Amino acid sequence: MSHFITESGRHVDAVTPAEMTEIDRIAVEESGPNIYQMMENAGRNMAELVLEHVGVGEPVLVFTGNGGNGGGGICGARHLANHGAPVTLVVLHPDSLRPVPAWQRRVYSATGAAETSLDSLDDMKSAPPDKPITIVDAMLGYNARGPLRETETRAAEWISRRKAFGGCRVISLDLPTGVNALTGETVADAVTADVILTLALPKTGLKPLFPRDIDASDAPGTPLPPVPELILADIGIPQSVYVAVNTERPFTGKYRIPLYLIQ
């Protein structure tokens, strides 16, 4: 059976959306950290990952939804702005943000960094197709199911078009938009990520994104399909919460650790 491991060979359990929901519930209702703290930790990890990859010179475009995943993206955009990165925020549903993401957006606005709408993207001067850019996909979280809504579809199509020009790195927060966190089923317009920064524990639906090795039944010269880089981020959940769901806290000495799938 396939499973994730760290660079040192340590086994890391993948969780279903239901199991991740229980982890979040225990943390918020019983032990902490609260949702603001977890969102802050997710966003800061995302910002640090972007800075490690491209520094502060390359434009960053952050797409966010109206839930917790979007709030983490907004928080990450604020950290990038605070460190001088040329970041632009794209909030897909600004009129229906949940309370915590709405608060994150208000704090982001204090940085003076840019925000634009999906309708305005094609006219953006900060993301021309002949210039490198990093795109952060923080549109949907692990509880998303089924086909994408119109707005998310438009955003995913925009990302796909921009990526086709080249010079574009896509980082998805927790999992790519359009990928089912339980099964790995991918809708037609799903975001194709170069890097996935998954939070707390990897989700079972990430496994199908890492295809099997080529075997004797494949045609000679068959190349391995590209796979995303997978990184696990610590959002501050204590060991007691992991124990409550019969797993172990995977972090020792680092806030972000690469993961690999063993088939």
Strand partners, 258: 231
Q: Cα separations (Å) of 35 from 9, 23, 32, 252?
A: 31, 12, 8, 23
Q: Which two tokens stand for residue 40?
A: 């802050």
Q: Which two tokens stand for residue 221?
A: 């010269």
Q: Which two tokens stand for residue 44?
A: 């800061």
**Fold for domain 33-211+225-234?**
Rossmann fold (3.40.50)
Question: Whole-prediction pTM value?
Answer: 0.92
In sequence order, the 6+-apart residues with CB closer than 8 A to the CB of 44 are 75, 76, 79
- What pLDDT score does 216 carry? 43
**108 by DSSP, 3-state: which?**
helix
142, 16 Cβ separation under 8 angstroms: no
Show the low-confidence residues of the chain (pLDDT under 50).
Answer: 213-218, 222
The DSSP 8-state label assigned to residue 186 in this structure reads B
Listed residue (150, 151, 210) closest to 175, CA to CA: 210
Going from N- to C-terminal start, the domains of the chain cover 33-211+225-234
Where in 70-193 does DSSP place strands (E)? 87-91, 114-116, 133-138, 168-173
- What pLDDT score does 169 carry? 94
196, 172 Cβ separation under 8 angstroms: yes
